[in-house]
Amino acid sequence: MSDTEERRGGLVGYVLLLPAGAWLTLFFVVPLVTLVSTSFYDPAGSLELGYRVTGQVTNYASVLSDYSEQFLRSLGYAATATLVCVLLGYPLAYAIAFKAGRWRNLMLVAVIAPFFTSFLIRTLSWQLILADQGWVVDTLQFLHLLGEDGRLLATPVAVVTGITYNFLPFMVLPLYASLEKIDPRLIEAGSDLYASPFTTFRTVTLPLSLPGLVAGTLLTFIPAAGDYINAQLLGNTRTQMIGNVIQKLFDGGSYPEAAALSVTLMAVIVVLVLAYVRRAGTEDLV
């Protein structure tokens, strides 16, 4: 800590913090509390008639029995997509950090660049790529990896592909950030001590990049679990995710049920994330 920092009092800190802190409290924390209380409303009410607070958990029981399938599917799709993101994102982040040389910044720009075309437009683009008469399906059919009447669009594969694609930068950037901090001499030391490249990777590079890996998985998995755009545009009615259901319930004005589902999703994610972070041993991540 430098002495300049020590001299600065806490009061100025609070003043600087106040506007953003107030905004986040008012429009992030208070809404979450409202969401929880809404989830206990009597579903028989409506916006016009008003709601009765029942204080019962009936909403939770009914949405969980009705939509557990979509729930599990969301978690499954998100987990699969996150795994594929690791498999694709790690080599890319590694290449940028260690092999790109003076092309490093350009490659980093290239990772974020696709972001700048709207999320929805990119997803629609995948609709085109995976379409029944598209070249991907043709190639796969030619290679007999896909049956004559097999298709990709409107299947779980398409949904997971879309999710993977859309959230890949969230994996690559944190991974790159932690790989970039690794001193290349540590890796050289590994090979000087006659460790095979694989052993060096397993015992030196991978553990040192763990914070990035954990951050990347979280930043990919969490938005992926709540996403419904990919399921809607690339899937069919049998690939609906929990986001589709929540959105539909809100559109239909069933606020209490929708709120109960949202709260459940948030709770499940918090539990999963805590378990995962504890397991990965990076509790001081945030």
Partner 1 sequence: MSRAGTAPDRRSDRPVRQGGGLGGGLGIQRWGHWLANHLVLGIGLLVLLYMFVPILIVVAMSFNQPASRNSYSFNEFTLRNWANPCEPLGMCDSVLLSVQIGLLATLVATALGTLMAFALVRHRFRGRSVANVFTFLPMASPEIVMGSSLLALFVAGGFAGALGFVTILIAHIMFCLSFVVVTVKARLAGLDPRLEQAAMDLYANEWQTFWRVTFPLVFPGILAAALLSFSLSFDDFIITNLNAGQEVTFPMYVWGAAQRGIPPQINVIGTVMFLTALLLVLLGELNTRRRERA
Of positions 52, 99, 181, 278, contacts partner 1 by CB under 8 A? 99
When asked if residue 114 is in the footprint of partner 1 (CB under 8 A), the reply is: yes
Do 180 and 94 contact (CB within 8 A), yes or no?
no
Q: Pick the stretch among 57-65, 144-152, 206-214, 218-226 that binds partner 1 (CB under 8 A).
A: 218-226
CB of 193 to partner 1, least distance (A): 12
- CA 8 to centroid of chain Cα atoms: 38
Q: Binding string to partner 1 for residues 146 to 185, with x set by CB under 8 A, is what?
A: -------------------x--xx--------------x-
Of 142, 205, 209, the C-alpha closest to 174 is 209
Among 2, 144, 237, 283, binds partner 1 (CB under 8 A): 2
**Rounded to the nearest whole angstrom, what is the least distance from the CB of residue 281 to partner 1 in the complex?**
18
Binders of partner 1 in range 64-93 (CB under 8 A): 88-89, 91-92
Closest contact distance (angstroms) between CB of 97 and partner 1 is: 10
Long-range contacts of 38-45 (CB under 8 A, 24+ apart): 38/255, 38/256, 38/259, 39/256, 39/259, 39/260, 39/262, 39/263, 40/256, 41/255, 41/256, 41/259, 42/256, 43/254, 43/256, 43/257, 45/256
CB 228 within 8 A of CB 243: yes
Among 32, 61, 271, 274, which residue interacts with partner 1 (rule: CB under 8 A)? 32
User: Does residue 126 interact with partner 1 by CB under 8 A?
Assistant: yes
User: Could you say which residues in the range 128-147 bind partner 1, by CB under 8 A?
Assistant: 128-129, 131, 133
Q: Which is nearer to partner 1, 156 or 226 (CB)?
A: 226
Cβ-contact 208, 278 below 8 angstroms = no
Q: Which stretch binds partner 1 (CB under 8 A): 31-39, 54-62, 65-73, 142-150?
A: 31-39
Shortest distance, position 151 Cβ to partner 1, whole Å:
14
Exposure of 114 by Cβ count < 10 A (0-12 exposed, 13-18 middle, 19+ buried)?
middle
Residue 49 near partner 1 by CB under 8 A: no
C-beta of 31 vs 150, nearer to partner 1 = 31
Which positions from 219 through 278 interact with partner 1, judged by CB under 8 A?
219, 222-223, 225-229, 233, 242-243, 246-247, 250, 255, 258-259, 262, 265-266, 269, 273
Residue 164 burial class via C-beta count within 10 angstroms: exposed 0-12, middle 13-18, buried 19 and up: buried
Q: How far apart are CA 74 and CA 70, in angstroms?
A: 6
The Cα–Cα gap between 121 and 118 comes to 5
The angle subtended at Cα 70 by Cα 79 and Cα 82, nearest 5°, is: 10
Q: Are 241 and 227 in contact (CB under 8 A)?
A: yes
User: Considering only residues 56, 68, 105, 199, which one is a binding residue for partner 1 as defined by CB under 8 A?
Assistant: 105
Nearer to partner 1, 46 or 68 (CB): 46
Separation of alpha carbons 280 and 45, rounded Å:
45
